[in-house]
Chain A
């Protein structure tokens, strides 16, 4: 069936360290993979996406890696800051499709 899952439900890192959030997906037909950040009381916010024909994409302090061989997606956050504390969701979408499928989320705690 459809599923986008995560290896760890919570992650705690020291401020200034790098964070790595992992995600497994099951649909080989997905074309786009997206990371969202959800802070308390808010809706998910788009962070970065990657298309299936790429294996790495960088943004500002964030990098997404895609390994289609093992159906694995990761989000790397450099120099993690207290403002990065939130729940992070990976999501997938089939190109031209109407549905974006979300995983269960990983809660990131940043210790000062």
Chain B
């Protein structure tokens, strides 16, 4: 069984640029959530995708957007990058009904540095 995979593992961008992060969910999982984890802090919920639609959103501006594809993989797009966007971006998938209990399966994340 393949777990959640994310790409790329590391990324360096400059302020004002745009970035796309990718996530393949675990086999059998139909829901994908994205989290931002700043250094030394817990993950902060960005949004969740289910059936290719945004199912809920945290306190993040509209320049954070996403997609989910028919195979349940997902993308996180961030426009107009700011220095504070530097963080580890985590993707988590969950099986049908799993996200409702908070049981998430995380990838290893993409470390984004904005210079």
Chain A residues within 8 Å of B, Cβ to Cβ: 4, 31-34, 41-46, 49, 89, 91-93, 95-105
A93 touches B100 (CB 8 A): yes
Q: Which residue of B lies closest to A4 (CB)?
A: B42
Which single member of B33, B44, B90, B102 contacts A32 (CB below 8 Å)?
B102
Grouping DSSP codes into helix (H, G, I), strand (E, B) and loop, the B interface class, with mixed when no group exceeds half, is: mixed
B45 touches A46 (CB 8 A): no
Does B66 make an interface contact (CB < 8 A)? Answer: no
Which residues on A sit within 8 Å (CB–CB) of B48?
Answer: 98-99
A103 touches B42 (CB 8 A): yes
Which residues on B sit within 8 Å (CB–CB) of A43?
Answer: 4, 90, 92, 106-109
Q: Which residue of A lies closest to B6 (CB)?
A: A43
Does B104 make an interface contact (CB < 8 A)? Answer: yes
Q: Which residue of A lies closest to B59 (CB)?
A: A2
Interface size on B, residues (CB 8 A): 27
What's the Cα separation between A4 and B6 when bound, in Å? Answer: 27
A46 touches B104 (CB 8 A): yes
Given pairs A33-B102, A43-B109, A97-B56, 12 additional interface contacts (CB within 8 A) = A4-B42, A31-B101, A32-B102, A46-B103, A89-B42, A96-B100, A98-B55, A98-B56, A99-B45, A99-B48, A100-B99, A102-B42
A95 touches B101 (CB 8 A): yes
Chain B residues within 8 Å of A, Cβ to Cβ: 4, 33, 35, 40-45, 48, 50, 55-56, 58, 90, 92, 99-109
Distance (whole angstroms) from the CB of A23 to the closest CB of chain B: 11
